[in-house]
């Protein structure tokens, strides 16, 4: 499958994890790969790839998944739905390349990249086991929550591009639906990723135990062997 991307890290042995990064509007996979370099040392057995959006956005090399020109609360969902099959196929492509499934996949997005990653949990619940959403949102408050997906919102308290209330409302809705979700607020941060954001993200991927493990323990079950991301 042809698409812009940067391979940040490729282990010498078959990877045990897949970390895919998605940038915001007007950005590009080269820029987002710098975020990937924060993750790589902590996950040496992971294939880490920064993926570019399919459409040009502003001056080269800017890219996007969907246009934000004239976007409204009413038409945002339709734009996401139109491009979602390509987003899902891009993730599936890298899963085929790595030989891994959704259980060992984490989607890490900023802004529009986070929107796509979050919305994929509604379109394809088994696409990934973790979503890290930096300053992102759902198009609308989510209507379903998958027990197999842990969502981590990391949001600037001073974000004026995607207001914190969108992440907070989504997190509350997911909790009510029985989902597995965390929300970290970086109080004085705007629409950006900083060192504090990265520390929270890495901490979640390394140490947060998915809610379903507790549910399985209470029911007498045990985690599946292929739940790689969560077993670090």
Q: Which of 45, 191, 226, 227 is catalytic?
A: 191
Cα(214)–Cα(66) distance, integer angstroms: 38
Taking residue 114's Cβ as centre, other Cβ atoms within 10 Å add up to 28
**β-strands 105-110, 55-56: how paired?**
unpaired
What does DSSP assign to residue 114? Answer: H
Known catalytic residue: 10?
Answer: no
What tokens appear for 115 in the block? 């929107």
User: Would you give the distance in Å from CA 8 to the centre of its chain?
Assistant: 16
Q: Which of 27, 155, 159, 166 is catalytic?
A: 159
Known catalytic residue: 146?
Answer: no
What tokens appear for 152 in the block? 């981590």
Q: Which of 98, 111, 120, 197 is catalytic?
A: 111
Known catalytic residue: 111?
Answer: yes
Catalytic residues: 111, 159, 191
């Amino acid at each position: 499958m042809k698409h812009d991307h940067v391979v940040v890290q490729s282990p010498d042995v078959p990877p045990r994890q897949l970390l895919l990064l998605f940038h915001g509007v007007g950005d590009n996979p080269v820029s987002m790969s710098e975020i990937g370099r924060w993750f790589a040392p902590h996950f040496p057995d992971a294939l880490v790839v920064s993926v570019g959006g399919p459409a040009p956005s502003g001056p080269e090399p800017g890219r996007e998944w969907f246009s934000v020109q004239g976007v409204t609360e009413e038409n945002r969902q339709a734009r996401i739905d139109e491009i979602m099959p390509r987003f899902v196929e891009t993730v599936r492509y890298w899963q085929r390349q790595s030989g891994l499934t959704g259980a060992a996949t984490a989607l890490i997005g900023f802004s529009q990249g986070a929107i796509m990653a979050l919305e994929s949990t509604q379109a394809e619940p088994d696409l990934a086991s973790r979503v890290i959403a930096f300053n992102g949102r759902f198009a609308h408050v989510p209507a379903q929550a998958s027990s197999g997906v842990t969502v981590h919102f990391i949001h600037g308290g001073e974000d004026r591009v995607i207001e914190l209330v969108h992440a907070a409302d989504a997190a509350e809705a997911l909790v009510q639906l029985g989902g597995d979700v965390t929300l970290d607020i970086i109080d004085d941060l705007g629409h950006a990723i900083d060192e504090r954001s990265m520390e929270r993200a890495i901490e979640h991927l390394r140490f947060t135990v998915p809610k379903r493990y507790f549910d399985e323990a209470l029911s007498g079950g045990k985690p599946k062997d292929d739940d790689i991301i969560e077993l670090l």
